[in-house]
Amino acid sequence: MIGATLWAWTLTRADIIDRIAVSVGNRVITESDLDREIRVIAFLDRAKGKPDFSPAGKRAAAERMVEQKLIRRELETSRYPVPAASEVEPVIEKFKKDSFPGDAEYRRALADAGITEQDLKDELFWQRTLLLFIGVRFRPGIQVTAQEIRDYFDKVVQPAAQAARPGQTVELEDYHDQIEQKISGERVDQAVDTWLKEARRRTEVVFHEEVFQ
């Protein structure tokens, strides 16, 4: 009888269906946002296994989403261009083709993962938006001089190439574009990192710890 009473209580009690997990300025990440993010990321990277709902997994996802919020706010306030929504369609199609034998399997996998196709589209759209933002906001300010390319070639590429293929001559011209891309890529990463740190310093970010237990 006690068990029945408890079962009845569990059925009729109020359940928390959503709440604030993190506030970023006057924007929030809710617990359901966090849940969806973990599921979508796990779905996209299914090789790594099931979604990680552990406290550490949740916090890692929350940290990612805080950065997203900061960038989204910058996109809104500074009116940076965003990609067209239609750009996601071919990416989804490719993902489906590469990962599932057919549409039915794809739909079943989405249902099993507890997400919708729109959730997946939103994630992929965000990834494209982020790339465009970085390209527009940070890449134009990055300069790589010829001397820096030469130095990198002398210090890194040439010794590695000679170690790999002793006796063969290595020309800078063969690696010039790759080195330039690598150096500028690293600098863009640094610039993004610095900007994110500064944006976060200027923004009140509050983690609601009860969500991460």
Partner 1 sequence: MPHLTDLLETAYVIMMMVRLLLAYWPSVTLVILAALAPPLLPAQYQKFEGQQILTIQFDPKEQPLDPAALHDILPLKLNQPLRIGDVRSSIERLFATGRYADIQVDAQPYGTGVMIRFITRSSWFVGSLSIGGRVSSPPNGGQLENATRLDLGQPYTETSLRGAVSGMQRLLEGNGFFLSQVRPVFDYETDRSHQQVNIRFDLTEGLRARFTAPVTIGDTKVDANQILSATKFRRWIIHTWKPMTQARVRQGLDGVRSLYRSENRLEAKVSLDSMKYEPATNSAIPTLRIDAGPRIEVHTIGAKVSQKKLQRYIPIFEEHAVDHDLLVEGARNLQDSLQSGGYFDAQVAFKEQRVTNDRASIDYLVNTGLRHKLVAIRIAGNRYFQTEVLRERMYLQPASFLQFPHGRYSENLLRNDEESIVNLYQSNGFRDVKVTHRVQDDYGGKTDNIAVFLTVEEGPQYFVDNLQIDGIEKLDKADTLGRLSSVAGQPFSEYNVAVDRDAILAQYFVKGFPNATFQWSWKAAARANRVDLHFVVNEGKQQFVRQVLASGLKFTRPSLVDRNFELNPGDPLSPTAVTDTQRRLYGLGVFARVNAAIQDPEGETDSKYVLYEVDEARRYSLATGFGAELGRIGGCQTCFDAPAGATGFSPRVSVDFTRSNLWGLAHSISLRTRASTIDQRALLNYSWPRFDGRDDLGVSFTALFENSRDVRTFDFRREEVSAQLSQKLSKATTLFYRYAWRYVNINNLKVSLFLVPQLSQPVRVGIASINLVQDRRDDPVEPHKGIYTTVDLGLAERFLGSQPNFMRFLVRNATYYPIGRRVVLARSTQFGNIYSFHNAGDPDVAVPLPERFFGGGATSHRGFPEEQAGPRDTSTGFPLGGNALLFNQTELRFPLIGENLGGVLYHDAGNVYTNLGSISFRVRQHDRPTGPTSPNPEDFNYMVHSVGFGIRYRTPVGPLRVDLGYSINPPYFFGFKGTQQDLVNAGRTPCQPPAGVANQCSVQNVSHFQYFFSIGQTF
Q: Which of residues 20-39 bind partner 1 (CB under 8 A)?
A: 20, 23, 25-28, 30-33, 35
Residue from 46, 53, 94, 186 that binds partner 1 (CB under 8 A)?
A: 53
Is 160 a binder of partner 1 (CB under 8 A)?
no
Give the integer Cα–Cα distance in Å for 210 and 213: 6
CB of 120 to partner 1, least distance (A): 15
Residue 9 CA, distance from chain mean position: 41
The tokens for 64 are 């990612």
Give the list of residues 6+ apart from residue 200 with CB closer than 8 angstroms, or none: 66, 67, 70
Angle at 18 between CA 13 and CA 21, to 5 degrees: 130
d(CA 144, CA 157): 16
Under the criterion CB under 8 A, does residue 77 sit at the interface with partner 1? no
Q: Is 12 in the site for partner 1 (CB under 8 A)?
A: yes
* Residue of 168, 169, 176 whose CA lies nearest to 150: 176
**One symbol per residue from 106 to 135: x for binding partner 1 (CB under 8 A), - otherwise; what is it?**
--------x---------------------
Distances 208 to 10, 70, 186, 211 between C-alpha atoms, Å: 25, 18, 33, 6
Measured distance CA(146)–CA(150) in Å, rounded: 6
Q: Is 52 in the site for partner 1 (CB under 8 A)?
A: no
Window contacting partner 1 (CB under 8 A); options: 93-101, 121-129, 186-194, 204-212: 204-212
Q: How far is the CB of 25 from partner 1 (least distance, A)?
A: 7
> Shortest Cβ distance from residue 38 to partner 1 (Å)?
10
**With binding defined as CB under 8 A, does residue 163 bind partner 1?**
no
Residues near partner 1 (CB under 8 A) are 2-3, 6-7, 9-20, 23, 25-28, 30-33, 35, 53, 114, 204, 206, 208, 213
